[in-house]
Amino acid sequence: MPELPEVESLRRILVRTAVGRRIASARIGEKELRRRKTADFAAAVRDRRIESISRRAKYLIIGFDGPDALLIHLGMSGSLTHRRDGFSAEMLDPRHDHVAFELDDGTRLVFNDPRRFGIVRLVARDQLADLTELRTLGPEPLSRDFDAEYLAQKARGKKLAIKNLLMDQRIVAGIGNIYASEILFRAGVRPTRRSGRVRRDEIERIVAATPEILRAAISSRGTTFRSYLDSRGEPGRFASRLRVYGREGEPCYTCSTPIRNVVVGQRASFYCPTCQK
Ligand SMILES: [Zn+2]
């Protein structure tokens, strides 16, 4: 499932390739997305210029030169690709193209989602902050609001495993299973530790590790296991730099102890029993 680094990588490429383009026409697919009906907004976005592409947590927000914006979430398996002549991505089955925008330079911006857990929603720009999806989100992990004082306060007294605290979008936005695992490895803290029992120096290490991991992942354009592709239809390259995630039984790069996998909150959680206390 795409997390902050994948969405941010996508955004950075689209800012260069799609901002300034006008939408010539839009086509909405026949099959509905699961989480929210994609109303037929084709008429509303015709002739609109794409003015900005921003991100909040795992949401991409495409701002138009009018009162509207498009809120996009990739869900489990979504991709937003910017296709020009010669574009080919074999894993993108055209039957799962849910929304396709023809742009004024002859390129196409296509939202494809085989499992249909994604969201594509036309919203009023001045109401973005009040949307159910965005209203409850915690601070961005790459912002100054996410500091040790803040995390220590959120962790205080909680029995919840520290990994689940990091994955709770109301606590900090945009981190999922892959990056929570990697952040905790770098910080030397086991994913199963009760949040309330994590010491202050450990909280500080977690907060310091967070931007290091996320920025490294963004510069590798994210992690692809199965479905994630960037806007050019290319996979992210961070998978080869993961230290624990997906490496059960393989030797830790630091100490050679086999990496373990425990289930925390119904999610696989990878850690090194020697490096993480
Ligand atoms: Zn180790």
* 221-243 pLDDT per residue, tens: 898 877 788 888 888 999 999 99
Q: Whole-angstrom Cα distance, residue 12 to residue 222?
A: 12
| Residue 202 among the catalytic residues | no
Grouping H, G, I as helix, E, B as strand and the rest as coil, residue 263 is: strand
Q: What is the pLDDT of residue 36?
A: 63
pTM comes to: 0.93
From the candidates 11, 48, 55, 58, give the one annotated as an active-site residue.
58
| Residue 277 among the catalytic residues | no
Q: What is the pLDDT of residue 37?
A: 60
Q: Which of 61, 175, 174, 81 is nearest to 121 (CA)?
A: 61
Q: Which of 172, 159, 186 is nearest to 264 (CA)?
A: 159
| Residue 273 among the catalytic residues | no
The alpha carbon of 78 and the centre of ligand 1 are apart by a number of angstroms equal to 34
The alpha carbon of 202 and the centre of ligand 1 are apart by a number of angstroms equal to 17
Q: What is the pLDDT of residue 193?
A: 97
| Residue 267 among the catalytic residues | yes
CA 139 → CA 56, 111, 129, 136, 210, distances in Å?
9, 27, 13, 10, 13
Q: What is the pLDDT of residue 276?
A: 98
Q: Whole-angstrom Cα distance, residue 134 to residue 173?
A: 10
Q: Whole-angstrom Cα distance, residue 186 to residue 210?
A: 9
- Per-run averaged pLDDT (10 residues), the chain, 277 residues: 93 95 92 70 92 97 94 91 86 88 96 90 91 94 98 98 97 97 98 98 98 96 82 89 96 98 92 98
Q: What is the pLDDT of residue 71?
A: 94
Amino acid at residue number 277: K
Q: Whole-angstrom Cα distance, residue 110 to residue 100?
A: 4
The alpha carbon of 251 and the centre of ligand 1 are apart by a number of angstroms equal to 8
| Number of CB atoms found within 10 A of residue 219's CB | 13
